Chain A
Amino acid sequence: MDLASLVKTLHPLEVKVLLRYGQEEPLDAARLQAELGYKEGHANQAFSWLCAKGLAAEAGRSARTVYELTPLGREMAERGTPEERLLRFLGENGASRLPEIAAALGLEQKDVGSAFGLLSKEGLAAMDAEKRASRIAGAASARLAAVRRLLERAAAAPGGLLDESELDAAEKAAMGGMARKRGAGDAAFRASERETVIYRLSAEAAAAAAELKEAGVTGEELGAVTPEILEKGLWKSASFRPYNIRSPAARLIPGRRNAYVEFLDSVKDKLVSLGFEEFDGSLVETEFWNSDALFMPQFHSARDIHDVYYLDEPKKATAIEEPYLSSVAATHENGGPTGSRGWRYSFDREFTKRLILRSQGTVLSARQLPKAKVPGKYFGIARCFRYDKVDATHLSDFYQTEGIVLGEDVNLRTLLGFLEMFAVEVAGAKEVKYVPGYFPFTEPSVEVHIKHPVLGWFELGGSGIFRPEVTEPLGVKAPVLAWGIGIDRMALMALGLNDLRELFSPDIEGVRLRRAKSP
């Protein structure tokens, strides 16, 4: 990083250090605390950041003793040491016996005894013949004065801390009687050893400081905008510290739609925009609606395409809706009224009630026919079930996108028109090709192949005009275009996946991070 960029990443805590000190000066946390008003943590942060940027380096370490005021010490600072309190009591009440003093001050006799011992040794108090203690007028103690100074200074210092280096000789002597390293609970100070790290700024620091001065950065710029800054208008006379706009943004976990479902929704929205009305239906279906109504003979190998799952219980529907059962049965047997010769076999009215998991979305189209309007356009994205071994390209349940178009004047060319619309509007294809196809329920049948910018040529879907044997038994006289498009390959590509199983992934983290490619 060049210097100008480096300077922009500096925090005010670093800036102030760089502007204030030269390369030769030994720096430590205490010094920054004293001279820049930093808190100890801030001082250490400043050193750590500066070192990381090569603007400072550790120059040495030194051990020192610090004294920390204990809770007892803090109480002494406020209410006096036992000696001070004893002297004060004697001054106020005249000569008294030690047990009376202990009772009056709420101290233990041994503490009053030892306090008196010390005072008496220094000639500040004496005991008369009647065992009454009294104060010796005019006497003073340098030790007691030092103790008082230490207690008050420590009580005012941040964290109740005094550094050994701050004590004069008298204070050091006094501290010796008040501080302990261990078991400090009944002492006024806890003594401990601390290591001080000494830093020095590096050669680049001076250049950085010059750059800062050049840019007019003082380290006093405003940080976070606070209500106070706004209320008091402080921003009017200050500038804002620029933030490092490239520092990594914190990760959030938003509420979010599923990328695959959104893709399915976008297809639905597109079809709605093309005038299609959505239909929906039961996951469980009968052989009747799943295949018979689509004129797939009960014996024919075309049904091998749709290897289906059978329900264990119940096994059969109570009834199949009339008049559709009879009209479909007649159509299978001899064509009924449709002009077909039919499949010429005996239609099994029990088999047709068999319950299965719907194996093709076309079921929904068949079910829609009796209630469909002419003209009418309908679609559904239906979960279907297939007897397939699950792998990267096969699922046991998956979505099929299917639909129908009813109209007095629809024909093969309108069908191609719709296929072209799907290819361009839904799949974003640039080139479209139509190929004769085969589906048991449509005649003629057409497959649409598209050239995808990434996937190359592939089959987008199958379609056709429903056979009269499908539509007429369900009460529809008008021609009906039927189509199905495969959108899962496009979904995989849009989501950057190559395994169909991933579409239904249970992995929360994977689903959170997944997103559709933007167009």
Chain B
Amino acid sequence: MPKIEVNERLFFSLLGRRCGASELEELLMGAKAELDEWDATGGAESDESRTIKIELNDTNRPDLWSTAGLARQLRVRETSRRPEYPFFSREGDERKAKRRVLVEASVQGVRPFLAGFVVSGKPISDAALKDMIQTQEKLAWNFGRKRRTISMGLYRTGIIKWPVSYKAVPPDSVRFVPLQWDRPMTLTEILREHPKGKEYAFINEGHALHPLLVDSTDAVLSYPPIINSADLGAVQVGDTELFIELTGTDMPSVTLASSIVACDFADMGYTVESVRVEYAYDTPFGRAVTFPYYFQTPVSVEAAKVSRLLGKPLDVAAVRAAVERMGCSTEAHGQYVTVAPPEYRNDFLHPVDVIEDVMMGKDMSFFEPERPHDFTIGRLSPIETFSRRAKSVMVGLGYQEMIYNYLGSGKDYVERMGIDGSAVVRITNPMSESFEYVRNSPLPGLLGSEAVSSRALYPHRIFEVGKVAFRNSKENYGVSTRQMLGFLSVHANAQAMADFNEAASQTATLMYYLGRDFELEEADDPRFIPGRQARITYKGAAVGVYGELHPRVLEAWGIAVPCAAAELDLDSLIE
């Protein structure tokens, strides 16, 4: 979930008023946001240098991940006044554009879409520039999947020779000086040597041609989505005219991201000027698109459906009022409300998304909790019921119940148990060696306890009931999950060491009270001493094993007292 830092003065000026922390927390609920950190009384510092840290929970609302966007949501919800963004072009209603970007056919197979516009009107402030860099990061990282599907660049418009061209070139055919570097590099060198190049190389690697943005004199603006030119692409506080472009792999996402950034600039008092982008190929919005561009389609919802899902009678007017508080414009068509998303949003996939905006447009207190009236019978799962029976017998036998993690190391689950490990499930991307395998038995957990508990008063009688998983080619998933019971008995009394007979008696007692007739077979489980282990069978199938643990296993765990143990597949006893 994205976290942003907003400049306190900028935020409150965009909100239209100041407020305290607890009120801000309340307001933030209207944007599914949480106040993370704010020292509103930050000593002698002024509000111009203080920041508020805010966490945004809605990953489908990238428009909220900036100071202007978040403030807009809260402001509109408070005042019900939607801001006007007259600079948007629409289908059949194009704004005039002084500047053009030409998209060449070569880029279609690499990174096909570009949107752009120019902001002007006043010098860019420090707070606005910082915010824009943050927006760029959040959009590209969270919404654009680490720049894969969206990336963004800012340039000084004044020194660009228009029109700009967006094309794909062989990575060794071009050299330019990237930001944070002091000499020209080819694209290949950038991917190999430049920190940003190394970080994002995975996006362009493997393509014969790489995307490049140049002006009409072939001066490089940037190498999307990796790095800007140190010349045309170095934006500073005080610059008065900026060209902003976004490239990516999905036209609606690129367009939406550009709309969000344009609205943010407009809210901060800048003038947004259109840029016409001419494609050498078709896009979902045509061959030539003038940005910022409104592409969203309206969604209709029936008032009765809203009422039914929210559990409150709401008429068309009430639905419209609530949704408009969320920044949408609406029209009534009989019992239906048609909702046009605001320029900066495209999160209405289904009418239920409108219904949620109705909920958000109301206050939660509008919806009183209601006790459910459907009658249903509650019950535990059969395996839970059966497991509880087994546990009560184990407790009666004097055993302490334990519970362990299911992830562990190959050392514990395989090596120390002396098994070949071919059936143990391994993770491809473990966080660490300590959590690399899924356990296939409860015994490693129990042995781990014994290994760290030699100072606990003896006898040690411990058991666990829990899940295990192991590879099984007969399953669709190639893995079986089973509920297993394991127990371990250890004494420190030289006259009565834990042994085969004890495990036998206790298993027999357990099975008696579970009401399961079982039989025994000779077994050759490497974890137990040969000749002192028994395989438990039920209805002809092996369901467990018990006996004296092999000294090799005990030595591997650093245990110096004899251990008797058993494991039993409870699932197979109720199937």
Contacts and interface: CB of A to CB of B under 8 A. Distances in A.
Given A417-B371, A438-B32, A340 B425 contact: no
Interface stretch (B264-272, B472-480, B493-501): B472-480
Contact of A411 (B308, B467, B478): B308
Given A357-B438, A468-B352, A318 B476 contact: yes
B461 to A, nearest CB: 7
Interface in A464-519: 465, 467-469, 479, 503-504, 506-509, 511-512
Q: Which of A258, A302, A437 has most chain B Cβ within 10 Å?
A: A258
Interface string B402-441: 1111110000000000000000011111110011001000
A274 B401 contact: no
Nearest to B401: A258
A284 B137 CA distance: 35
Interface stretch (B157-165, B184-192, B361-369, B509-517): B361-369
Interface stretch (A35-43, A48-56, A135-143, A381-389): A381-389
B372 to A, nearest CB: 5
Contacts of B481: 281-284
Interface stretch (A111-119, A144-152, A196-204, A264-272): A264-272
Contacts of B310: 411-413, 444
A467 B426 contact: no
Contacts of B367: 412-413, 416, 434
Given A301-B143, A413-B368, A339 B351 contact: yes
A413 B352 contact: no
B326 to A, nearest CB: 11
Given A417-B369, A508-B453, A509-B457, A341 B350 contact: yes
B350, B368, B430, B457 pick with most chain A CB within 10 angstroms: B350
B422 to A, nearest CB: 9
Contacts of B81: none
Interface string A244-284: 00000001011111101100010010011111111111111
Contact of A255 (B311, B395, B455): B395
B149 interface: yes
B462 to A, nearest CB: 6
B41 interface: no
Nearest to A284: B479
Contacts of A324: none
Contacts of B1: 305
A506 B356 contact: no
A286 interface: yes
A335 B59 contact: no
A434 B363 CA distance: 10
A255 B461 contact: yes
A376 to B, nearest CB: 6
B397 A255 contact: yes
Interface stretch (B5-13, B110-118, B383-391): B383-391
A419 interface: yes
Contacts of B379: 272, 277-278
B530 to A, nearest CB: 28
Given A282-B481, A396-B407, A396-B435, A375 B309 contact: no
A419 B369 CA distance: 8
Contacts of A410: 372, 374
B435 A299 contact: no
Contacts of A265: 388
Interface string A376-404: 11000001010111100001110000000
Contacts of A305: 1, 59
B48 interface: no
B381 A280 contact: yes
Contacts, number: 280
Contacts of A465: 309, 352
Which of B145, B405, B430: most chain A Cβ within 10 A? B405
B121 interface: no
B54 to A, nearest CB: 14
Interface string B1-28: 1000000000000000000000000000
Contacts of B145: 299, 301
A445 interface: yes
B542 interface: no
A224 to B, nearest CB: 25
A106 to B, nearest CB: 42
Nearest to B143: A301
Contacts of A469: 349-350
B448 A506 contact: yes
Interface in A333-359: 335, 338-345, 355, 357
B378 A357 contact: no
B356 A445 contact: yes
Contacts of B369: 413, 416-417, 419-420, 434
Given A314-B478, A344-B252, A507 B401 contact: no
A412 B428 contact: no
A277 B377 contact: yes
A340 B355 CA distance: 13
A443 B353 contact: yes
A312 interface: yes
Contact of A511 (B374, B378, B388, B400): B400
A197 B381 CA distance: 72
A304 interface: yes
Given A280-B384, A396-B405, A416 B368 contact: yes
23 contacts: A275-B377, A277-B377, A277-B379, A301-B142, A309-B427, A310-B428, A314-B479, A318-B476, A318-B478, A341-B350, A355-B477, A357-B427, A377-B374, A397-B405, A413-B369, A413-B370, A416-B368, A438-B32, A479-B309, A509-B453, A509-B456, A509-B457, A511-B400
Given A340-B349, A417-B370, A438-B60, 15 more contacts: A253-B400, A280-B381, A282-B481, A283-B467, A311-B425, A313-B471, A385-B406, A396-B435, A417-B372, A419-B369, A436-B32, A438-B57, A438-B58, A507-B453, A511-B402
Interface of A: 251, 253-258, 260-261, 265, 268, 271-286, 299-302, 304-305, 309-315, 317-319, 335, 338-345, 355, 357, 375-377, 383, 385, 387-390, 395-397, 405, 407, 409-414, 416-421, 434-438, 440, 443-446, 465, 467-469, 479, 503-504, 506-509, 511-512
Among all A-B residue pairs, the 4 with the closest Cβ atoms: A413-B311, A411-B311, A375-B374, A314-B478
